[in-house]
Amino acid sequence: MKLAEDVLNEKDRPMISVQQDTTLADTLKTMVANDIGATVVKDGEQVVGIFTERDLLKLAAGRKFDPESIIIRDVMTTNLFSAPYNDPIYLLLDKILGKRIRHIFVEKEGRFIGILSAGDVTKACLNERTREMESISWDYYENWRWKPKKKS
């Protein structure tokens, strides 16, 4: 069974981040340049938040929108969800669905080693299920003879 760390290694992409004093405009440029839906927000090397496409939509709909004057620390999400590096992928999917989140940090030895999107986890689960189905011997089922119950 694949684990969270396995999916991160297959993804082979660094955790993209901005510093907490970055403007929203520069944060959005970073997200577009890296083709990502969320960026990690740091204070030095410490992860302090995340800024996502969902955060952007809420922000744009809620008040005067000036990306050059908005500082990311003021609009980032600070309630971070994480999972241990050795969580099986199906458990990761349960956490993402149960908490209704789109991104989950992967934690190892007390620090975040990466971030996975709902898409990353879903894809890994589907690939794992495909491998499981391909490993089944269908001989048993092909020769399975059963008769429906007769109606009384």
Of 118, 29, 18, 36, nearest in space to 76 by CA: 18
Whether residue 32 is contained in a domain is answered as: yes
Whether residue 70 is contained in a domain is answered as: yes
Whether residue 103 is contained in a domain is answered as: yes
What CATH number is associated with residue 116? 3.10.580.10
Do 102 and 117 touch, CB atoms closer than 8 A? Answer: yes
Q: How many domains does the chain have?
A: 1
Whether residue 40 is contained in a domain is answered as: yes
Residue 99's domain comprises 4-135
Cα–Cα distance for residue pair 89/6, rounded to 1 Å: 9
Q: What is the mean pLDDT of residues 73-90?
A: 96
Contacts of 116 (CB under 8 A, 6+ apart): 4, 7, 8, 11, 92, 103, 104, 106
pTM over 0.75: yes
Highest mean pLDDT among 31-40, 54-63, 137-146: 31-40
Contacts of 34 (CB under 8 A, 6+ apart): 16
State the Cα angle at 141 between 133 and 127, rounded to 5°. 5
Do 5 and 86 touch, CB atoms closer than 8 A? Answer: yes
Whether residue 98 is contained in a domain is answered as: yes
Whether residue 140 is contained in a domain is answered as: no
Q: Is the pLDDT of residue 66 over 70?
A: yes
Whether residue 144 is contained in a domain is answered as: no
Whether residue 111 is contained in a domain is answered as: yes
Each residue of 100-140: pLDDT tens digit? 999 999 999 999 999 999 999 999 999 999 998 888 877 76
C-alpha radius of gyration, the chain, whole number: 21
